[in-house]
């Protein structure tokens, strides 16, 4: 797989992830907004019906304007412009909420004109497991623009909306799992690509490292096979030493190949160490010196920076 293909896959994957997250976020927020509006509308209907029954029971006229005012996300105030009976209020609230299948716990309070404060009514739980002591609010907020009113709050509004959004939440979780799996798969692909490139580079380098001693041993073998070499014992010893060194080098390269297989399995730890560059260059020159002499060439090692600059200047003049 080429680099362009990998880059294309990464870009398309990133765009797909961004698109999925954006669409999913918009869908969740839109669903929350719809469910919130449905909840508010249901509460307003129940409060209006409750007020109508209170007006019939307590003999007062329903205000024509600003009957139900939403103070916060879960707190509603109902303007009655007349005093009401707390017992009737709780009974009618329960009745109307059950009619619209909104069986959510609520609290209510009635504003007392004489003391000019909100008098707490009761915590009404549809679930018997809930207790008034654990859920009771100390005081409901007051509203200055009304003289006679009652307030109703729904403490569990958010949890109710979350319950209504179970399908959306399920799809969001599934989308998140899909995105995480895609990211994991993309990570595996990139890691395999990197390992493949490393393996390719290793093979290229190892091929070069193996060809050099083989070529040097071949040259030395041809020289030793010359009958006249027997009359030159020092030269014979030199080339025999070269063959021995290059054979040792081949053994080291084979050992590196074996260690590389262990490294792929995570059973080897590479350690960095410093070395003298001049000594390393001298060994390299020794390996290629025979090839150079075979072609009437010469390899020169320059370690002085001034001599090195002079050498390059001469090359440019040639």
pLDDT tens per residue, range 23-36: 888 888 888 888 89
Q: What percent of the chain has pLDDT over 70?
A: 84
Dist CA 70 CA 36 (whole Å): 13
User: Could you tell me the pTM of the whole model?
Assistant: 0.55
The rounded mean pLDDT for the chain is 78
Q: Residue 267: its pLDDT value, please? A: 53
Structure tokens at 122: 């009761």
How many angstroms separate the Cα of 54 from the Cα of each of 18, 108, 236, 254, 274? 53, 15, 122, 96, 92
Q: What percent of the chain has pLDDT over 90?
A: 2
Q: Residue 76: its pLDDT value, please? A: 92
Dist CA 31 CA 152 (whole Å): 25
For residue 68, what are the β-bridge partners? 78
For residue 152, what are the β-bridge partners? 76, 108
**Please, which residues have CB within 8 angstroms of residue 120's CB and are 6 or more apart in sequence?**
107, 109, 136, 137, 138, 139, 140
Check whether 131 has a pLDDT greater than 60. no
Check whether 71 has a pLDDT greater than 80. yes
Check whether 140 has a pLDDT greater than 50. yes
Question: Phi and psi (nearest 5°) for 39?
Answer: -65, -45
Structure tokens at 94: 């329960």
Domain boundary assignment for the chain? 3-164, 173-299
Highest mean pLDDT among 34-38, 65-69, 239-243, 266-270: 34-38
The residue among 94 and 231 whose pLDDT is bigger is 94
What integer is the mean pLDDT of 282-302?
A: 73
Q: Is 122 helix (H, G, I), strand (E, B) or coil?
A: strand
Q: Residue 132: its pLDDT value, please? A: 47
Is-contact 279 270, C-beta < 8 A?
A: no
pLDDT in tens, 83-126: 888 888 888 998 898 888 888 888 888 887 777 777 777 888 87
Q: Residue 133: its pLDDT value, please? A: 44
**Which CATH class, in words, describes the domain spanning 173-299?**
mainly alpha
Check whether 313 has a pLDDT greater than 60. yes
Q: Residue 312: its pLDDT value, please? A: 55
């Amino acid at each position: 797989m080429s680099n362009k293909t990998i880059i294309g896959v990464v870009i398309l994957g990133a765009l797909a992830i961004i698109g999925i997250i954006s669409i999913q976020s918009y869908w969740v927020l839109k669903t929350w907004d719809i469910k919130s509006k449905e909840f508010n509308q249901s509460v307003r209907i129940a409060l209006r019906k409750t007020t109508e029954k209170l007006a019939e029971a307590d003999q007062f006229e329903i205000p024509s304007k600003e009957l139900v005012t939403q103070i916060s996300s879960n707190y509603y105030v109902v303007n009655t412009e007349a005093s009401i009976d707390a017992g009737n209020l709780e009974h009618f609230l329960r009745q109307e909420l059950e009619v619209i299948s909104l069986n959510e716990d609520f609290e209510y309070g009635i504003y007392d004109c004489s003391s000019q404060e909100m008098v707490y009514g009761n915590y009404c739980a549809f679930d018997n497991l809930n207790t008034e002591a654990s859920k009771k609010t100390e005081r409901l907020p007051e509203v200055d623009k009304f003289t006679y009113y009652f307030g109703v709050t729904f403490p569990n509004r958010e949890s109710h909306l979350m319950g209504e959004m179970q399908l959306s939440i399920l799809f969001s979780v599934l989308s998140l799992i899909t995105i995480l799996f895609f990211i994991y798969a993309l990570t595996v692909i990139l890691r395999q690509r990197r390992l493949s490139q490393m393996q390719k580079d290793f093979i290229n380098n190892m091929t070069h490292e193996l060809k050099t001693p083989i070529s040097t041993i071949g040259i030395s073998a041809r020289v030793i096979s010359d009958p006249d070499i027997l009359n030159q014992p020092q030269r014979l010893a030199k080339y025999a030493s070269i063959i021995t060194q290059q054979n040792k080098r081949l053994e080291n390269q084979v050992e590196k190949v074996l260690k590389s297989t262990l490294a792929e399995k995570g059973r080897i730890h590479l350690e960095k160490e410093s070395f003298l560059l001049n000594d390393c260059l001298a060994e390299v020159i020794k390996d290629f010196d025979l090839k150079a002499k075979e072609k009437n060439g010469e390899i020169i090692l320059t370690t002085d920076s001034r001599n090195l600059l002079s050498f390059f200047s001469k090359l440019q003049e040639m």
